[in-house]
Structure 1
Amino acid sequence: MYFVTGTDTDCGKTLVSCALLHRAGVVTASGHQARTLGLKPVASGCEMTPDGLRNSDACALLSASTLKPAYWMVNPFAFEPAIAPHIAAQEQGVDISPESLMSSLDLTQMAIADFCLIEGAGGWRLPLGQGRYMSELVQYLSVPVILVVGMKLGCLNHAVLTLEAIKADGLEVAGWVANCVDPEMSRYQENLDSLKTLLDVPLLGEIPFLPEVSPQLAANFIRLPRPESKRRR
């Protein structure tokens, strides 16, 4: 199980998460397909549908997973306004504390999955209200973190600070992914080389700018993290 976080909003967490799920769920030569599951506990900017509020990121995770639980099990806290989740939750009188998020997770589905990931919202220190943060949920779960770096101006500072915060919280970083979100980024290669030096965790892949979001295509540019037992040797 992994938690996917990013340097900021719109850095490509969902694209990377879906690409990892797609890669993990590929049918092998022997005909075996891994049981994969992607979750997004809290999301804002949801759209009202005949079936209720739906978040495009959560729907993408569900589509990329081989396990198909009910939508509410993938995204238990969905808010319509495209604002910070803790503000939307406060306006509706909803508790999204780390404990509440933890109790909303379907631990049974997570346990049977061969590959499970939880996608955060925003960055590592996403506020949940009352001085609480999304990072506390990851501490409760005690799972390795995958960091998505949106390749654009300012990413060096954001990436280093995020990595430092994750480590300060006592969590392991399984690796990071460079995702090109700005095709016009000046000195792209120089920035990428700098990140390779600054981030002392494995580089899982470099996704070029994709005119159309395609997890299947993005999966060609990344690799899965090594199993936890192997990383600790």
Structure 2
Amino acid sequence: MTLSLFVTGTDTGVGKTQASTALLRAYARQHARCVGMKPVAAGCDWVDGQWLNEDVAAMRAASTLKVPPVFDNPYALPDPVSPHLAARLAGEQIDLAHIEASFHALRQHADVVVVEGAGGFIVPLHEAPGEWATSADLALRLQIPLVMVVGVRLGCLNHALLTQEAILSRGLTLAGWIANVVDPDMPQQAANISTLQARLHAPMLAHWAWDPAATADQRADCLTLPI
């Protein structure tokens, strides 16, 4: 059976891609076919005749299984804004059923699939009259365990606890969380992390200090795999 995880975050810019690539590199030490999936990427450059997002490029570099772009990044949207707005600007409509089908196609060929969400857990993916879909709705469709990346900075306690509440209230599994320091000057870092360890109902898989130059393999070295 394919091992699958959904990586979400307490906000945008908290290190979901760092976590996803580290998970891929760590799992690659145990499994031959590991692939990352970024269902929706907003903010792309035109490269070699296609839209390419830097997070998608990083996940492809960390994967051991190469797949057609239509499967590991079904929606590549040019504008770096909320996915539902980026889709509107691109004249596209994000279809969760299409993403789910792409995910299951990957599972047919991979030992491990790491899915990276967009933005925070409840970021809108689709908005139309009478219709509304978020990243949380996508997680519900996929029904796989989640890893939450906590960007350690002022406000992270509230953001982490609210995200946990949103995950658990939907009956989803929080398999673990990662403390990723995104503000090196934040006071009382250790105290904040201790509070999270006491209040989050899942194991802390890693505590990454501020290090923008750290590679995926280096982060994988100090990462406990959730499953």
- The normalised TM-score by structure 1 is 0.90
- Residues 151 and 182 of structure 1 are in contact (CA less than 8 Å); yes or no, is this contact kept in structure 2? yes
Shift of 1:209: 1.0
2:5 corresponds, among 2, 7, 13, to 2
2:77 corresponds, among 79, 102, 109, to 79
Tell me what 1:153 maps to: 154
Q: Percent of pairs identical after alignment?
A: 40
2:108 corresponds, among 93, 106, 111, to 111
Q: Distance in 2 between matches of 1:56 and 1:173?
A: 27
2:14 corresponds, among 11, 34, 57, to 11
Q: Distance in 2 between matches of 1:133 and 1:14?
A: 19
Alignment partner of 1:121: what SS?
Answer: coil
Shift of 1:106: 4.6
Shift of 1:211: 3.0
Q: Distance in 2 between matches of 1:213 and 1:58?
A: 18
Tell me what 2:124 maps to: 127
Gaps of 5+ in 2: none
1:56 corresponds, among 47, 54, 57, to 54
Structure 2 residue 172 is matched with structure 1 residue 171: yes
Gaps of 5+ in 1: 227-233
Tell me what 1:229 maps to: none
Q: Distance in 1 between matches of 2:123 and 2:103?
A: 22
Alignment of 1:27-42 (within 5 A): 33-42=31-40
Counting strand residues as a fraction of each chain, which structure ranks higher?
A: 2
Shift of 1:129: 2.4
Shift of 1:220: 1.5
Shift of 1:98: 2.1
User: 1:15 is matched by which residue type in structure 2?
Assistant: Q
- The normalised TM-score by structure 2 is 0.92
Shift of 1:100: 3.5
Q: Give the alignment's Cα RMSD to 1 decimal.
A: 1.4
Tell me what 1:186 maps to: 187
User: 2:90 is matched by which residue type in structure 1?
Assistant: Q
Alignment partner of 2:176: what SS?
Answer: strand
Shift of 1:149: 0.3
Q: Distance in 2 between matches of 1:98 and 1:107?
A: 12
User: 2:66 is matched by which residue type in structure 1?
Assistant: K
Moved more, 183-192 or 69-78: 69-78
Q: Distance in 2 between matches of 1:19 and 1:192?
A: 20
- Residues 79 and 89 of structure 2 are in contact (CA less than 8 Å); yes or no, is this contact kept in structure 1? no
Shift of 1:91: 2.3
